[in-house]
Amino acid sequence: MKIDYLKAFLLTLAIVLCFSVSLELYWRQRGFVPTHNDDKIIWAMKRKEVYLPADRATVFIGSSRIKFDLDIPTWEKLTGEEAIQLAVVGTSPRPVLRELAADEKFKGKLIIDVVEGLFFSPRTFISEKWAMDGINYFHEETPAQQASSILNYGLESNVVLLEEGKFGLNNMLNDLELPDRPGVFSFPSFPKEFAVSNADRQTSMTPMFLSNPALIEKQIINWTKLGGTDKTPGIDGPALEAVFKEVKDAIERIRARGGQVVFVRPPSSGGFLETENLVYPRVKYWDAMLKYTNTPGIHFEDYPKTANFVCPEWSHLAPADVITYTEELVRILSQEKGWSFPGMAAVRQDL
C-alpha cells in the first residue's frame, strides 16, 4: 500500500495544532497569561549584564526571597539604575558569589540575600545545584544555543504553554501526586497559580493564588515537605567557619576591585521564621557572619516598616508589601549604608 506522506504530515500537523490551540485557550480561560521560564537560559542572559558601571546597576544574588521581595520597577524608579536579578530559586548564593568574585571584570554593587537554611546548608550539592546549572550554561553557551534562546525568549512572551515549569510534561505528571516508591523523594507539586516570573526575573505571587486559601495552605504544606520546619541543627564549628571564610575571601576580592557588598535578610513569618530563629540563631549565624566578613547587613527585623510583615505562605511577600520593602531597602542603603544612586535626589524626595 502506497503511503501519501504529505497527507499524513498535514493530518498530523492539524491534530497537533488543534490540540495545542485548544490547550492554550483552556489555560488562558483559567486565568493564566504568557510569562517567561525562569531557567538557566534567562539567568545567563541577565548574567551578561553585570559589567555595567557601578553607578548604573546593582546585582542581586540569593534564593527565591529576593526574587519575590524586590520590586524592580520601584527600585529602578527610586535609584535611577538597573536591578540585575541573579538569584536562583531554592539555591544558596554562595556559588554565584564565588563565580562573580573570580570574574575580574565584575566591579559593581552586589546585594546578597541570606536564607539561613540554604546559605548554611550542610547539603551543599543540593542547595547549589540549580545555581551551578546556570553558571555552567553561561560559560559554555554555544552560538546555536544563543540563537535558540533569543527565539524562545520571544515566543515565551506570547504563548502560555511554553512555560515549562508549569506546563511541561514532567510537571503535568507531577501534578498527579502519585505516591513515591519506598526510599524515593519526589519534589512536591507547586500550585500553578502560585507565581509568575517576568523578563527581568522578578517573581510575584498571582491574584489567583492570593485569593485562594486552599492553594496557600497547599504551598505551606509544600514548604514543610521541603524541610521548611525541619529542626535539624545547622552547621557548626569548623564547617561554619569554613563557610564564613569562603564568603569573606570572595567579598574581599570584589572589594579589592572597587565593588561594594551588602547582605540582606528578607522577611519570613509563621512556621518558617519560627524554625529559622530556632535552628539558626541570629547571633551565631547572621551577626557572626557580618562581623567575620566585615560586611554591612540589613535584617528585616531591625526596621519598623519591615519587621511585622506577614508572608502569605510563610516565605515570600505579597506584591503590595514588596513595594514597601523595596522602598525601605533603598532608603536604608542610601541613608544608612553609604550607597549612592544616580536618582539620589528622587530617593530623598520620595522616601
Q: For 225-279, what is each residue's pLDDT tens digit?
A: 888 888 888 899 999 999 999 999 999 999 999 999 999 999 999 999 999 999 9
Question: What are the C-alpha distances in Å from 144 to residues 43, 85, 151, 261, 283?
Answer: 17, 25, 11, 35, 49
Tens digits of per-residue pLDDT, 134-178?
A: 999 999 988 888 887 777 777 777 888 778 778 776 777 677 776
Would you say 286 and 114 are in contact if contact means Cβ atoms under 8 Å apart? yes
Per DSSP (E only), the strands in the chain are 57-61, 82-85, 109-113, 195-197, 203-205, 260-265, 297-299
Q: How far apart are CA 265 and CA 93, in angstroms?
A: 13
Q: CA angle, corner 104, sides to 98 and 110, nearest 5?
A: 55
Q: How far apart are CA 154 and CA 124, in angstroms?
A: 35
Among 67, 83, 313, which residue's Cα sits nearest to residue 190? 313
In single-letter form, the type of residue at position 196 comes to: V
pLDDT for residue 349 is more than 60: no
